[in-house]
A and B are shown apart, each in its own frame.
Chain A
Amino acid sequence: MDILNKTPKKNKDIAYRIIDREAIVLSLNDEEKVNIFNETATRIWELIDGKNKVKDIAQKLTKEYQIDYLEAESEVKRLLEEMCFKKLITLN
């Protein structure tokens, strides 16, 4: 399935907070690796609710940040793949 139709979901074994539009996220399997997200990554993190598909998130970012859809899509894909690699989310 194309990644755009996949639905990202936050992993169960994580802990996080969003403070002033910046998220601090850690995997409880490796608490030493702390992830600090910038504003865009934090907004994407907020939109990961187990319902929004990748393409929905890209669309929302297009509207909110008034950017080109393809630009949003590429950024969303990149960041989600990184979150997936760090075992913070799953993509199904």
Chain B
Amino acid sequence: MDSYTKFFKKLAIKNIPLHCLFELTYRCNLRCIHCYIAKNTKKEINKEEIFKILKQLEKAGCLYLTFSGGEILIRKDFFEIAKYSRDLNFALRLFTNGTLIDEKTADKIKDLKPIVEISLYGFKNTHERITQTKGSFSRTVNAIKLLTQKQVKVYVKAILMKQNTEEFWELNEFVRKDLKANWRGIGGGLLISPCDDGNKKPLNYRLTAQQLKKYIQEEFRHLKILGKDYKPQKVKQNSTLCGAGFVNCNITPYGEINPCVQIRFKNNKIKNNNLFTLFKNHPQFQYLRSLRIKDLECKNCKLLSWCVRCPGISLLERGSLLAKLPEACRQAEIRQEIYKNFKEN
């Protein structure tokens, strides 16, 4: 075992939140059809409150800090917050739609030495049908160009849905060759999440069986070109469900701590230096950490090694972290079938 794996395991045992996804705001200038954020009217925390939380995150051992939204650059105090974070020696990752990035903003971003992840869902018509905002494609593309020209590390990603699957691989080429950016592919995997209030409208955008087959076939083919083989996962009954709540946490714009953006707890408001105590001792965090594959409703499923399920999405869609997730089953079946065909040919 290398020193990093050893170190990482130690952190997981000690419940050190090495990674944090900090949602700075739920306000956004786009209206993406699949967005998981439900409309909220609660008051978001101010800069001073954010500083206090960042100080606590630093003390708790967090190193990798991702700022997400809504759209982070809507916050007028974003660069003060980001600068403060760098002064605390965090490694920053910024999730943005890029539409508010001009030359001056790009320079300020460069100074933070971050990794920037930008969502681009397709070419102009498709992208703007998804964002429901005219002009958003050119503004996002312009931001990618500006940042890459300034040697900022940019990863472009997209959620794969009915609306954009046909142009997905062409988009990959466009991003790498024309925009000279890194292609991160389907950022959040193939499972589109319901909204964080349980609203299932975004699920309508999940791929049809035909689209899914075509995408997975193409994915296998691409891996083969790269000399990689798509292999079934080795699933152990004693394995944990995912990393959420072990070394990963999420902070909301209301100053609450959760394991991830899909699993939202109650009584989790951060105050009076209690961040680490909440992360370590909150009963819902402890419960999540106690769960293993053998606790799943579908623990004996033959497709388990092909299954990419997400406990958070199970919770939102089926009401339990442990529930069978039909969409994951559907994808696992297709993955297995295509794998067999690939092996035979």
- Interfacial residues, chain A to chain B (CB-CB below 8 A): 13-17, 19-20, 22, 24, 26, 28-29, 31, 34, 36
Q: In the complex the two chains form, is A36's CB within 8 Å of B3's CB? A: yes
B16 to chain A: which residues have CB within 8 Å? 19
Q: Looking at chain A's contact residues, is the secondary structure mostly helix, strand, loop, or mixed?
A: strand
B62 to chain A: which residues have CB within 8 Å? 17
Q: For the complex, what is the distance from the CA of A24 to the CA of B62, rounded to whole Å?
A: 11
B58 to chain A: which residues have CB within 8 Å? 17
Check B176 for interface membership: any CB of A closer than 8 A: no
Most buried by B among A15, A17, A26, A31: A17
Q: In the complex the two chains form, is A34's CB within 8 Å of B89's CB? A: no
CB closest residue in chain A, given B86: A15
A24 to chain B: which residues have CB within 8 Å? 7, 18, 63
CB closest residue in chain A, given B11: A19
B114 to chain A: which residues have CB within 8 Å? 28
A16 to chain B: which residues have CB within 8 Å? 63, 89
Check B202 for interface membership: any CB of A closer than 8 A: no
Q: For the complex, what is the distance from the CA of A14 to the CA of B115, rounded to whole Å?
A: 13
Check B61 for interface membership: any CB of A closer than 8 A: yes
Q: For the complex, what is the distance from the CA of A14 to the CA of B90, rounded to whole Å?
A: 9
CB closest residue in chain A, given B7: A36
Q: For the complex, what is the distance from the CA of A29 to the CA of B61, rounded to whole Å?
A: 21
- Taken residue by residue from 258 to 284, chain B's Cβ proximity to chain A (1 for < 8 Å, 0 otherwise) reads as 000000000000000000000000000
Q: In the complex the two chains form, is B4's CB within 8 Å of A36's CB? A: yes
Check B236 for interface membership: any CB of A closer than 8 A: no
Instruction: Please judge, given known A-B contacts A15-B89, A15-B91, A16-B89, whether A28 and B7 are in contact too, CB under 8 Å.
Output: no
A15 to chain B: which residues have CB within 8 Å? 63, 89-91
Q: In the complex the two chains form, is A17's CB within 8 Å of B63's CB? A: yes
- Residues B1-56 near A (CB distance < 8 A): 3-4, 6-7, 10-11, 14, 16, 18
